């Protein structure tokens, strides 16, 4: 008899003290307004430590949006934009992560849901090393960047400017830096199977 290969499932948790989800959008056709979501979490599992086969389910509390201006934040939470009374969360579920290119950048594909509208998006992701911190915790991290058109998720509010153009740009640039801590590793398979050269004798 020989053992089947043991597959180890690793669970990771976000280290919120060292993680951030940010965005920026053009304002008055000139500069950018920047903001972040302060409350978010994710369910993240990998096969051993291989993130190419990772399962990532992320949720964001939309009410935690912060742009440094309370009046603007209240407008973003209103029915004109995120309508937090009806849609409390933004979610992202990863489906595919490509192999890294020469610069170590992968493509991550997944379903992004905003205002109840789900669309496939592609983002760039760059993984850091897997190391132990000073407390002996196994950690890793990654940076994510990409751009989406907010109109595709029903975030259509805008205002025309007297000299032409609009107050708010359509394209939203997303940047995230996420640090993870290993929570647990569990063996999923530990079975026996007969070897091909097994002989029976009487």
Domain boundaries, the chain: 2-189
Mean pLDDT in residue range 95-101: 89
Q: Is 196:2 a contact under the CB 8 Å cutoff?
A: no
Question: What is the pTM for the complete model shown?
Answer: 0.84
Distance (Å, rounded) from C-alpha 143 to C-alpha 175?
7
Query: Into which CATH architecture does domain 2-189 fall?
Result: Beta Barrel (2.40)
Helices vs strands, H then E, count in the chain: 1, 14
- pLDDT at residue 63 is higher than 80: yes
Is the per-residue pLDDT at 199 higher than 50?
A: no
What is the 8-class DSSP label of residue 77? Answer: H
The secondary structure of 87-153, three-state, reads: CCEEEEEEEEECCCCCCCEEEEEEEEEECCEEEEEEEEEEECCCEECCCCCEEEEEEEEEEEEHHHH
52 confidence band (pLDDT: 50, 70, 90):
confident
1, β-bridge pairs: none
């Amino acid at each position: 008899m020989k053992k089947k290969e043991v597959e180890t499932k690793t669970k990771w948790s976000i280290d919120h003290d060292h993680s951030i989800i940010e965005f920026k959008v053009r304002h008055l056709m000139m500069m950018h307004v920047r903001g972040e979501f302060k409350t978010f979490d994710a369910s993240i599992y990998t096969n051993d430590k291989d993130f190419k086969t990772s399962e990532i389910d992320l949720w964001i509390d939309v009410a935690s949006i912060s742009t440094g201006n309370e009046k603007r934040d209240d407008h973003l939470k209103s029915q004109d934009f995120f309508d937090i009374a009806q849609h409390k969360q933004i979610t992202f579920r990863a489906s595919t992560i490509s192999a890294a290119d020469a610069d170590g950048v992968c493509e991550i594909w997944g379903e992004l849901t905003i205002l109840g509208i789900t669309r496939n998006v592609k983002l760039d992701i760059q993984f850091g090393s897997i190391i132990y911190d000073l407390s002996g915790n196994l950690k890793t991290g990654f940076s994510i960047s990409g751009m989406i058109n907010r109109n595709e998720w029903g975030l259509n509010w805008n205002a025309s400017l007297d000299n032409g153009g609009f107050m708010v740009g359509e394209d939203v640039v997303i940047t995230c830096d996420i640090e993870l801590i290993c929570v647990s590793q569990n063996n999923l398979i530990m079975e026996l199977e007969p070897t091909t050269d097994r002989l029976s004798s009487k």
